[in-house]
Amino acid sequence: MTKARDRRAQRVAFLKQRLEQFYGPLLAARREIGARSELRVKVQQALDDPPAVGGVDTHVRAVDADVDDENQTFREIIMPRYREMISIFRDKMWLAEPAT
């Protein structure tokens, strides 16, 4: 009975480690990237609508500012998160299920 209980405890500890160190961080990074991507699409749709007030020059400046902001977000946030995901996968691959 003690051996079976110890094996079960080791299995549970391994599953916990798998979730905390591999799947959890990967899922969190993926969700963050997904949320930022959804926001980017919404902002782009809002900018694609013709300007109601302020004229074309204001609209062009808003689009330029959005492009600059998206480029900065991509460089400073999204790409580092993708790199972090690759690093987690590489460093903790032994925790992954075979199907992964």
Residue-wise pLDDT tens for the chain (100 aa)? 899 999 999 999 999 999 999 999 999 999 999 998 888 888 777 777 766 665 666 767 777 787 788 888 889 999 999 999 999 999 999 999 998 8
pLDDT at 60: 72
Quick check: 82 and 33 in contact, CB under 8 A?
Answer: yes
pLDDT of residue 46: 73
Residue 59: the pLDDT is 66
What's residue 50's pLDDT? 62
Helix (H) or strand (E) holding 9: helix 2-18
* Domain range list for the chain: 2-95
